[in-house]
Amino acid sequence: MVARPSAQSTPAEVLVLGGGVAGLTTALCLLRAGKRVRVAARAYLAGTTSAVAAAFWYPYRAYPEAMVAPWARVSYARFAELTRATPEAGVLRRETVEVFPQPASPPAWALDLPDFETLPAAALPPGYGAGYRFTTFVIETTIYLPWLMRQVEAAGGELTTRAYANLDEAVADCPDVVDCTGLGARELVPDPSVYAVRGQVVRVKNPGLSRVWIDEHSGDGITYIVPRSGDVVLGGTADEHEEDTTPDPGRTPAIVERCARLEPALRGAEVVSVVVGLRPVRPTVRLEAEARPGGRIVHNYGHGGAGVTLSWGCAEAAAQLILHT
């Protein structure tokens, strides 16, 4: 599957900017609503932030919570449907445990989950004061992103490789534009409120694990264990305003050790790779329509560390703004 150069483009009713999970999902929603859609992106697959992400359903670093929760709820339902009906999409149902060093109130989104429960002290690892268990969905991006691209093309969408200098140039090309450019929105919009939070993860061979672990509040960094079909993603870091995507080998042992405290089977696991991604963080998710001379833009970016988690909810909301405004 190769994105075609924009010179071969056919007339489109909507131009979607961005080839990550937000852009592809939004394009698919618009196509299913009957629109002719062209996606334009600098890169697809390995060239996107989505490809590097640990990619499991969990509302992380996306605000405000009251606005984010309904979008996350929609995505949860869509991922549940995919695990039941479309196993080739690469979405896995996983039991998840989140632990805290001190007693903690359940998050706002807990009410939306069918099996969220508080764990008794006896079920917690040593040194933790609270914990919750719930079902999440792990999205294997090496499978899921190509699947999304195939769905877009099968529905009649066009995938092109092009970088626009600014949004006015995009509107001149197509009067209805959806901006799903993530960190790129900082320069393209321009939106100086967007900034990067660097995340380094370690991928190891899976020693037989199937449970996701999250510890966002103990010690340095954030700790998460995300078992996929062939490997486990271990995280990680949350380095504010850092954009160097070169892995720091000095941080890898600490990441593995933090994860091994939760899952001792990870000690000695073979390291497959160490990668870095940049989370596109903003004080609030931006999902709104903006009129510009000659057309309009629907913005859908600023998802922080929850791009996959919000992908279907935000895509459906963005599509509605195109369809009904």
Q: What is the mean pLDDT of residues 171-195?
A: 97
- CA–CA gap between residue 284 and residue 142 (Å, rounded): 28
Q: Tell me: the pLDDT tens digits for 202-253?
A: 999 999 999 999 999 887 779 999 999 999 999 999 999 999 999 999 999 9
Average pLDDT of the residues in 181-197: 97
Phi and psi based region of residue 171 (left: phi greater than 0; alpha: psi -120 to 50; beta: remaining): alpha
Q: Determine the Cα–Cα distance for residues 277 and 145; give it in Å rounded to an integer.
A: 16
Q: What pLDDT, on the 0 to 100 scale, is given for residue 291?
A: 96
Instruction: Give the pLDDT confidence score for residue 226 in this predicted structure.
Output: 98
Q: What is the pLDDT of residues 8-32, one digit of tens each?
A: 445 899 999 999 999 999 999 999 9
Strand partners, 233: 203, 226
Helix axes 21-32, 307-324, angle to 10 degrees: 40
pTM: 0.94
pLDDT of residue 10: 58
Q: Which residue in 49, 95, 17, 74 sits closest to 275, CA to CA?
A: 49
Mean pLDDT score, 186-195: 98
Residue 2 reports pLDDT greater than 90: no
Domain assignments of the chain as residue spans, ordered by start: 4-324
- What is the model's pLDDT at position 5? 45
CATH superfamily of 4-324: D-Amino Acid Oxidase, subunit A, domain 2 (3.30.9.10)
Within 10 angstroms of residue 210's Cβ, the number of other Cβ atoms is 14
Q: What's the angle, vertex CA 310, arms to CA 183 and CA 40, rounded to 5?
A: 45
- Does pLDDT of 67 surpass 80? yes
